[in-house]
Amino acid sequence: MASDTHGKFIWCELMTPDPAAAAKFYGSVVGWATKEMPMGEMGVYTIFEANGRGVAGMMQFPAELEGQGIPPNWTGYVAVDDVDQSARDFAANGGSVRRPPEDIPTIGRFAVVADPSDAVLCIMTPFPMENDDGWRPDMATPGHVGWHELMSGDWQQAFDFYGKIFGWTKDHDFDMGEMGTYRIFAEHGKQTGGMMTKPADMPVTYWAYYFNVPEIDSAIERVTSGGGKIVFGPMEVPGGSWVINGIDPQGAYFCLVAPRR
């Protein structure tokens, strides 16, 4: 039987060619402070902090990925009880393993995987943390990830897949008219994200991560003044929140959500 953390989003990570510039941009837009963590041969890993707590991470875009058509990007990490078994489950159910399981010293064992529509995620079995006080933020907490969204080749196939691998369940559906169904899913009974079939003119499938900010209009100003670009929004979504989708100055796609304009 799976634990109460299996299938839970636990981290978000930015790979970027210019960590210093990205730290300045997201510090302004989201309000994050940064803390550097030396990783030996792996270089320096940057922690984004909100209210003194690590909420996301950042690393230099790996040289071995250059020239492969992979842009700077945000990737989410989902906790699993046994990363080796979950990687096998991805492959056995129509997904794929992009990077086999390996250990990150003192942090956990992780793998890079993709679902049947090629949307990429990381899965991780974290090592026990001595300083874990059990605090878990409300999804609306400023500076934290407020929503996880999948643009899939086939949302029903994706939902069935993730339900089998992670145990996610249906919360409810939202009818988006010509754009189809938006399936809001739950992790251990708690709303955590949504998925839909991507528009035909969208070139790739992907997971997107929405960072909480207090209100959307001033955040838009910070994005554009910092060299970023708004590609969609602001749009009001069910529940009264406002969202935008943007591209940061280094080319990574990101999203913001706020309770008001």
- Do residue 114 and residue 150 come from a single domain? no
Residue found under tokens 């993709």 = 114
| pLDDT for res 49 | 95
pLDDT at 40: 74
* CA pair distance 213, 92, nearest whole angstrom: 39
How distant is the alpha carbon of residue 110 from its chain centre? 15
DSSP state of 7: T
Give the span between the Cα atoms of 202 and 158, in whole angstroms.
Answer: 17
Per-residue confidence (pLDDT) for residue 245, from 0 to 100 = 97
Q: Please check whether residues 181 and 104 belong to one and the same domain.
A: no
**pLDDT in the model for residue 129:** 66
Residue 46: inside a domain, yes or no? yes
- pLDDT tens series, the chain, 261 aa: 788 899 999 999 999 999 999 999 999 999 999 999 887 776 789 999 998 899 999 999 777 766 677 789 999 999 999 999 999 999 999 999 999 999 988 889 999 999 999 999 999 999 986 555 555 667 788 899 999 999 999 999 999 999 999 999 999 999 999 999 999 999 999 999 999 999 988 889 999 999 999 999 999 999 999 999 999 999 999 888 999 999 999 999 999 999 998
Total number of residues shown for the chain: 261
Instruction: Out of 126, 161, 179, pick the residue that ends a domain.
Output: 126
Q: Are residues 121 and 150 in the same domain?
A: no
Domain stops at, among 97, 126, 155: 126
What's the number of CA atoms in the CB half-sphere (13 Å) around residue 164? 17
Q: Has residue 32 been placed in a domain?
A: yes
Q: What total of structural domains would you count in the chain? A: 2
On whether both 154 and 116 belong to a single domain, the answer is no
Question: Would you state the pLDDT for residue 106?
Answer: 84
The CATH number of the domain holding residue 92 is 3.10.180.10
Residue whose token pair is 């990574």: 252
Q: Are strands 145-152 and 73-79 parallel, antiparallel or unpaired?
A: unpaired
Q: What's the pLDDT at 150?
A: 98
Structural domain harbouring 224 = 145-258
One domain for residues 153 and 109: no
Instruction: Work out the widest C-alpha separation in the chain, in whole angstroms.
Output: 51
Let me know if residue 161 belongs to a domain: yes
